[in-house]
Amino acid sequence: MKDQTPTPHIGAKFGDIAETVIMAGDPLRAKFMAEKYLENPVLYNEVRGMLGYTGLYKGKRVSIQGHGMGIPSIGIYTYELFNFYGVKTIIRVGSAGAIDKDLKIGDVVIGMGACTNSNYAEQYRLPGHFAPIADFELTRKAVDAADKLGIRYKVGNIFSSDTFYDDTPSLSEWQKMGVLCVEMEAPALYMNAARSGNKALCICTISDCPFTGELTTPEQRQTGFTNMMEVALELL
Protein backbone atom coordinates (compact mmCIF):
# COMPACT_ATOMS: atom_id res chain seq x y z
CA MET A 1 0.00 0.00 0.00
CA LYS A 2 1.32 3.40 -0.96
CA ASP A 3 2.11 5.57 2.04
CA GLN A 4 -0.49 8.36 2.02
CA THR A 5 0.52 9.91 5.33
CA PRO A 6 0.36 12.53 6.69
CA THR A 7 -3.26 13.01 5.64
CA PRO A 8 -5.16 16.30 5.29
CA HIS A 9 -6.48 15.86 8.84
CA ILE A 10 -3.81 13.88 10.73
CA GLY A 11 -0.21 15.10 10.85
CA ALA A 12 1.30 11.78 11.90
CA LYS A 13 3.58 9.61 9.80
CA PHE A 14 2.84 5.94 9.19
CA GLY A 15 3.95 4.02 12.28
CA ASP A 16 3.30 6.87 14.71
CA ILE A 17 -0.16 5.51 15.53
CA ALA A 18 -0.81 2.18 17.27
CA GLU A 19 -2.97 -0.57 15.80
CA THR A 20 -5.57 0.13 18.51
CA VAL A 21 -6.95 3.66 18.89
CA ILE A 22 -9.31 4.88 21.59
CA MET A 23 -11.23 7.94 20.37
CA ALA A 24 -13.26 10.67 22.05
CA GLY A 25 -15.31 13.41 20.48
CA ASP A 26 -13.68 16.02 22.70
CA PRO A 27 -9.93 16.26 22.01
CA LEU A 28 -9.45 17.53 25.58
CA ARG A 29 -10.96 14.27 26.86
CA ALA A 30 -8.41 12.45 24.71
CA LYS A 31 -5.65 14.61 26.22
CA PHE A 32 -6.89 13.95 29.76
CA MET A 33 -7.08 10.22 29.12
CA ALA A 34 -3.61 10.03 27.56
CA GLU A 35 -2.01 11.99 30.39
CA LYS A 36 -3.87 10.04 33.10
CA TYR A 37 -3.40 6.50 31.83
CA LEU A 38 -0.53 6.29 29.34
CA GLU A 39 3.16 5.86 30.04
CA ASN A 40 5.27 8.37 28.08
CA PRO A 41 2.48 9.67 25.80
CA VAL A 42 3.80 11.28 22.62
CA LEU A 43 1.68 13.89 20.79
CA TYR A 44 1.39 12.84 17.14
CA ASN A 45 -1.37 15.14 15.96
CA GLU A 46 -2.66 18.62 16.64
CA VAL A 47 -3.99 19.49 13.19
CA ARG A 48 -7.31 21.37 13.65
CA GLY A 49 -6.83 20.90 17.39
CA MET A 50 -7.75 17.21 17.13
CA LEU A 51 -5.15 15.98 19.59
CA GLY A 52 -3.72 12.47 19.26
CA TYR A 53 -1.23 10.63 21.50
CA THR A 54 0.58 7.30 21.43
CA GLY A 55 1.96 5.64 24.55
CA LEU A 56 1.93 2.47 26.61
CA TYR A 57 -0.78 1.11 28.89
CA LYS A 58 0.38 -1.83 31.02
CA GLY A 59 3.11 -2.46 28.45
CA LYS A 60 0.74 -2.39 25.46
CA ARG A 61 1.01 0.25 22.75
CA VAL A 62 -2.15 2.30 22.21
CA SER A 63 -3.15 5.62 20.70
CA ILE A 64 -5.79 8.02 22.01
CA GLN A 65 -7.24 10.71 19.74
CA GLY A 66 -10.16 13.09 19.34
CA HIS A 67 -12.64 12.69 16.49
CA GLY A 68 -14.91 15.73 16.76
CA MET A 69 -18.69 15.91 16.72
CA GLY A 70 -21.02 14.12 14.35
CA ILE A 71 -20.94 11.36 11.77
CA PRO A 72 -19.09 13.35 9.06
CA SER A 73 -16.25 14.20 11.45
CA ILE A 74 -15.72 10.73 12.91
CA GLY A 75 -16.20 9.34 9.42
CA ILE A 76 -13.18 11.26 8.14
CA TYR A 77 -10.87 10.43 11.04
CA THR A 78 -11.72 6.74 11.28
CA TYR A 79 -11.50 6.28 7.51
CA GLU A 80 -7.98 7.71 7.52
CA LEU A 81 -6.92 5.67 10.54
CA PHE A 82 -8.25 2.39 9.13
CA ASN A 83 -7.16 2.91 5.53
CA PHE A 84 -3.94 4.96 5.74
CA TYR A 85 -2.41 4.23 9.17
CA GLY A 86 -2.92 0.48 9.48
CA VAL A 87 -5.22 0.78 12.50
CA LYS A 88 -7.06 -2.48 13.24
CA THR A 89 -9.30 -1.53 16.17
CA ILE A 90 -11.05 1.70 17.15
CA ILE A 91 -12.98 2.12 20.39
CA ARG A 92 -15.04 5.26 20.84
CA VAL A 93 -15.57 6.58 24.37
CA GLY A 94 -18.30 9.20 24.22
CA SER A 95 -21.16 10.90 25.98
CA ALA A 96 -24.81 10.14 25.33
CA GLY A 97 -28.30 11.14 26.35
CA ALA A 98 -30.47 8.56 28.10
CA ILE A 99 -33.47 7.18 26.21
CA ASP A 100 -34.03 4.09 28.34
CA LYS A 101 -35.89 5.08 31.50
CA ASP A 102 -33.63 3.00 33.76
CA LEU A 103 -30.39 4.73 32.75
CA LYS A 104 -28.94 7.31 35.11
CA ILE A 105 -26.21 9.96 34.82
CA GLY A 106 -22.85 8.17 34.81
CA ASP A 107 -24.15 4.81 33.61
CA VAL A 108 -22.22 3.13 30.81
CA VAL A 109 -23.80 1.92 27.56
CA ILE A 110 -22.07 -0.59 25.30
CA GLY A 111 -23.39 -0.03 21.78
CA MET A 112 -24.08 -3.43 20.25
CA GLY A 113 -25.89 -1.80 17.32
CA ALA A 114 -26.44 1.74 16.06
CA CYS A 115 -29.71 3.01 14.62
CA THR A 116 -29.42 6.28 12.72
CA ASN A 117 -31.19 8.95 10.69
CA SER A 118 -27.98 9.54 8.70
CA ASN A 119 -27.51 8.76 5.00
CA TYR A 120 -23.86 7.76 5.52
CA ALA A 121 -24.49 4.26 4.11
CA GLU A 122 -25.73 5.65 0.78
CA GLN A 123 -22.13 5.84 -0.46
CA TYR A 124 -21.92 2.04 -0.57
CA ARG A 125 -24.87 1.69 -2.99
CA LEU A 126 -26.18 -1.36 -1.19
CA PRO A 127 -29.40 -3.04 -2.39
CA GLY A 128 -31.01 -2.51 1.02
CA HIS A 129 -30.38 -1.04 4.47
CA PHE A 130 -27.12 -1.79 6.28
CA ALA A 131 -27.32 -2.53 10.02
CA PRO A 132 -24.21 -1.04 11.72
CA ILE A 133 -23.05 -3.32 14.55
CA ALA A 134 -20.06 -3.52 16.88
CA ASP A 135 -17.43 -6.23 16.80
CA PHE A 136 -18.69 -9.14 18.93
CA GLU A 137 -15.32 -9.96 20.49
CA LEU A 138 -14.84 -6.36 21.64
CA THR A 139 -18.41 -6.24 22.93
CA ARG A 140 -17.96 -9.43 24.95
CA LYS A 141 -14.66 -8.20 26.41
CA ALA A 142 -16.26 -4.86 27.33
CA VAL A 143 -19.05 -6.64 29.20
CA ASP A 144 -16.51 -8.78 31.04
CA ALA A 145 -14.44 -5.69 31.92
CA ALA A 146 -17.48 -3.78 33.19
CA ASP A 147 -18.45 -6.75 35.36
CA LYS A 148 -14.91 -7.04 36.70
CA LEU A 149 -14.75 -3.32 37.51
CA GLY A 150 -18.20 -3.31 39.12
CA ILE A 151 -19.56 -0.71 36.71
CA ARG A 152 -23.28 -0.19 36.13
CA TYR A 153 -23.95 -0.71 32.40
CA LYS A 154 -26.39 -1.78 29.71
CA VAL A 155 -25.76 -3.39 26.32
CA GLY A 156 -27.94 -2.86 23.27
CA ASN A 157 -29.05 -0.58 20.49
CA ILE A 158 -28.12 3.09 20.49
CA PHE A 159 -29.48 5.88 18.28
CA SER A 160 -27.02 8.10 16.41
CA SER A 161 -28.56 11.35 15.24
CA ASP A 162 -27.41 13.88 12.65
CA THR A 163 -29.17 16.60 14.65
CA PHE A 164 -28.34 17.75 18.16
CA TYR A 165 -31.17 20.32 18.14
CA ASP A 166 -34.08 18.36 16.67
CA ASP A 167 -36.97 20.43 15.34
CA THR A 168 -39.31 17.44 15.67
CA PRO A 169 -38.28 15.61 18.86
CA SER A 170 -38.62 11.86 18.34
CA LEU A 171 -36.70 10.20 21.18
CA SER A 172 -39.91 8.77 22.62
CA GLU A 173 -40.39 6.82 19.38
CA TRP A 174 -36.92 5.28 19.72
CA GLN A 175 -37.72 4.52 23.34
CA LYS A 176 -40.63 2.35 22.18
CA MET A 177 -38.12 0.26 20.19
CA GLY A 178 -35.93 -0.43 23.22
CA VAL A 179 -33.13 1.92 22.14
CA LEU A 180 -30.93 2.83 25.09
CA CYS A 181 -29.42 6.24 24.38
CA VAL A 182 -28.69 8.90 21.78
CA GLU A 183 -25.27 9.98 20.50
CA MET A 184 -23.95 11.21 17.14
CA GLU A 185 -21.10 9.08 15.80
CA ALA A 186 -21.28 5.28 16.08
CA PRO A 187 -22.70 4.27 12.65
CA ALA A 188 -19.87 5.87 10.67
CA LEU A 189 -17.34 4.16 12.95
CA TYR A 190 -19.06 0.79 12.55
CA MET A 191 -19.47 1.17 8.79
CA ASN A 192 -15.87 2.25 8.22
CA ALA A 193 -14.71 -0.72 10.28
CA ALA A 194 -16.91 -3.12 8.30
CA ARG A 195 -15.86 -1.71 4.91
CA SER A 196 -12.14 -1.93 5.78
CA GLY A 197 -12.37 -5.33 7.48
CA ASN A 198 -11.50 -4.05 10.94
CA LYS A 199 -13.00 -3.88 14.45
CA ALA A 200 -14.91 -1.16 16.28
CA LEU A 201 -16.93 -0.56 19.42
CA CYS A 202 -18.72 2.46 20.89
CA ILE A 203 -18.84 2.80 24.67
CA CYS A 204 -20.80 5.76 26.05
CA THR A 205 -21.44 7.37 29.41
CA ILE A 206 -24.84 8.91 30.09
CA SER A 207 -24.19 12.64 30.35
CA ASP A 208 -27.78 13.88 30.29
CA CYS A 209 -31.37 12.68 30.46
CA PRO A 210 -33.49 14.51 27.86
CA PHE A 211 -36.77 13.35 29.42
CA THR A 212 -35.89 14.70 32.90
CA GLY A 213 -33.67 17.65 32.01
CA GLU A 214 -30.70 16.35 34.04
CA LEU A 215 -27.33 17.60 32.71
CA THR A 216 -23.61 17.37 33.40
CA THR A 217 -21.04 20.14 33.03
CA PRO A 218 -18.38 20.32 30.29
CA GLU A 219 -15.73 19.61 32.93
CA GLN A 220 -17.58 16.50 34.10
CA ARG A 221 -17.81 15.26 30.51
CA GLN A 222 -14.12 15.99 29.91
CA THR A 223 -12.57 14.42 33.00
CA GLY A 224 -15.27 12.65 34.99
CA PHE A 225 -16.24 9.71 32.81
CA THR A 226 -13.36 7.44 33.79
CA ASN A 227 -15.42 4.23 34.01
CA MET A 228 -15.84 3.93 30.25
CA MET A 229 -12.17 4.86 29.73
CA GLU A 230 -11.05 2.05 32.01
CA VAL A 231 -13.37 -0.43 30.28
CA ALA A 232 -11.90 0.59 26.91
CA LEU A 233 -8.33 0.20 28.15
CA GLU A 234 -9.13 -3.31 29.40
CA LEU A 235 -9.83 -4.31 25.78
CA LEU A 236 -6.17 -3.92 24.74
Catalytic residues: 208
Query: Rounded CA gap, 145 and 211, in Å?
Result: 29
Judge whether 199 and 88 are in contact, CB under 8 Å: yes
Q: Which residues lie below 8 Å from residue 34, measured CB to CB, with a gap of 6+?
A: 41, 51, 53, 55, 64
Q: How far apart are the first and last CA of the chain?
A: 26
**C-alpha torsion angle, residues 22, 25, 31, 36 (rounded to 10):** -60
145 vs 142: CA distance, rounded Å: 5
Q: How far apart are CA 151 and CA 228, in angstroms?
A: 9
| Peptide bond between residue 127 and the one before it cis (omega within 30 degrees of 0) | no
Cα–chain center distance at 82? 14
Angle subtended by helix axes 226-233 and 136-149, to nearest 10:
120
CB atoms closer than 10 angstroms to residue 1:
7
φ, ψ (nearest 5 deg) of residue 204: -120, 155
